[in-house]
Amino acid sequence: MLKGKVDFAAVSRVLSELMKPKTPPLIGVDISSSSVKLVELSAVAKGRYRLERYTIEPLPKDAVVDGNIMNLDEVGEAVKRGWKKLNSRIKNLALALPSAAVITKKIVVPAGQREEDLEIQVETEANQYIPFALEEVNLDFQILGPSPSNPEEVEVLIAASRKEKVEDRVAVVESQGLKAVVMDIDAFAAQTAFELIQGRFPDGGVDQTIALVDVGSSMMNINVLRNGQSVYMREQPFGGNQLSQEIQRTFGLSIEEAEAAKKSGGLPENYEPDVLRPFMDTLALEVTRALQFFFTSTQYNQVHHILLAGGCASIPGLDEVVSRRTGVNTVVADPFASMDKAPKIKERQLAQDAPSLMVACGLAMRRFDA
């Protein structure tokens, strides 16, 4: 992933152009390494939403590895099971590519070019940054606006992904009689959902540096935001799988039994002091290291807030452990906190699931694009 300040809304539009979407009523679908998450929203007023339905369908081990779909049939079946549990009539889906599968680069070009000339220049520039033949990628671009340093130039955002990455996700849903109408990027979808949360920070988070830390099953994604712009992104190989493996090792369980016990409880009394607490401390240390990388790689020397997302964020007390270790105010992500909810939504279960639904929620919000 190429680093640099990125206009998330623009990148999201660029990647969605790969599918030429129309934003009809749709369901947000996040295919992660551990599960398929589906969210359906409706609008109750301008800028206000209602959570109609959601579900989380577990995936078999190694069906998705490092964001790559390894078993299309198993993932397709999980999508179909989740869609049936959702009990929705909507068959149009918004999907996301993993951030690591997409290359983005902002370039500056002379203003006033014809579209044909701009396309040629974009392809020429893309050749410098994309380590694949152009015929192997989905390539698109978006004019962001005038260059801040020269009014005779414009900034253009290039976005590219291997065709197979897009095609795998499309094939998975279309094999089940569903339709992919939007293709986003997971980090940018989470950024969209973050907009629902930002207003709850002091002064609406304006002029504050906020680290969105998404801890999934195998990867920790750090996206540092300031006034709606990403100023830093990083991935670290750490996640909930480490906790499952430690449960497996300590208590002599299979990995499947360890995963189930992690979610449902029933482990011996020494689980919390001997396994869970050390894992939480290690996670907090990983967040601290990520922030240190951020400080040494940018001009920033302070983070005002940490927003924890992903499945691990629902571990009780994790926010306190991270806050104590980093010295930064830490809160758990819940994009649905200010939403209306359909009567069938179970509030207690939603509170547990909400941190892991950031991407799916952001994808579902694509329904309301102008």
pLDDT tens-digit map of 182-197:
888 898 899 999 999 9
Is there a contact between 100 and 67 (Cβ–Cβ < 8 Å)? yes
Specify the range with the lowest mean pLDDT, choosing from 144-148, 152-156, 204-208: 144-148
What domain range includes position 140? 8-197+337-368
Q: With respect to residue 361, please indicate whether it lies within any of the assigned structural domains.
A: yes
Do 361 and 283 reside in the same domain of the chain?
A: no
pLDDT tens-digit map of 69-104:
999 999 999 999 999 999 999 999 999 999 888 888
Is residue 11 pLDDT above 80, yes or no? no
Q: With respect to residue 204, please indicate whether it lies within any of the assigned structural domains.
A: no
AA identity, residue 180: A
Q: With respect to residue 216, please indicate whether it lies within any of the assigned structural domains.
A: yes
Do 96 and 186 reside in the same domain of the chain?
A: yes
How many CB atoms lie under 10 A from the CB of residue 138? 20
Do 64 and 134 reside in the same domain of the chain?
A: yes
Do 187 and 319 reside in the same domain of the chain?
A: no
pLDDT tens-digit map of 251-297:
999 888 888 888 888 899 999 999 999 999 999 999 999 999 999 99
Do 162 and 23 reside in the same domain of the chain?
A: yes
Mutual angle of helices 72-86 and 163-174, in 10-degree steps: 50
Q: With respect to residue 1, please indicate whether it lies within any of the assigned structural domains.
A: no
Q: What's the pLDDT at 4?
A: 45
- How buried is 29 (Cβ within 10 angstroms: 0-12 exposed, 13-18 middle, 19+ buried)? buried
Residue found by looking up tokens 């983070």 in the block: 303
Q: Measured between alpha carbons, how far is 190 from 207 in angstroms, rounded to an integer?
A: 20
CATH number of the domain enclosing 24: 3.30.420.40
The widest CA-to-CA distance across the chain, in whole angstroms, is 69
Do 231 and 113 reside in the same domain of the chain?
A: no
Do 173 and 312 reside in the same domain of the chain?
A: no
Do 246 and 178 reside in the same domain of the chain?
A: no
Q: Measured between alpha carbons, how far is 137 from 195 in angstroms, rounded to an integer?
A: 30
Share of the chain above pLDDT 90, in %: 63
Is there a contact between 21 and 181 (Cβ–Cβ < 8 Å)? yes
pLDDT tens-digit map of 351-362:
999 999 999 999
Alpha-helical (H) ranges within 68-174 are: 72-86, 115-129, 163-174
Is residue 3 pLDDT above 90, yes or no? no
Mean pLDDT over 233-254 rounds to 93
- Helix, strand, or coil (residue 320): helix
Q: With respect to residue 158, please indicate whether it lies within any of the assigned structural domains.
A: yes
Instruction: Of 183, 205, 239, give the one whose Cα is nearest residue 31.
Output: 183
Q: With respect to residue 364, please indicate whether it lies within any of the assigned structural domains.
A: yes
Domain count within the chain: 2
Mutual angle of helices 318-326 and 277-297, in 10-degree steps: 40
Q: What's the pLDDT at 15?
A: 56
Beta-ladder partners of 309: 214
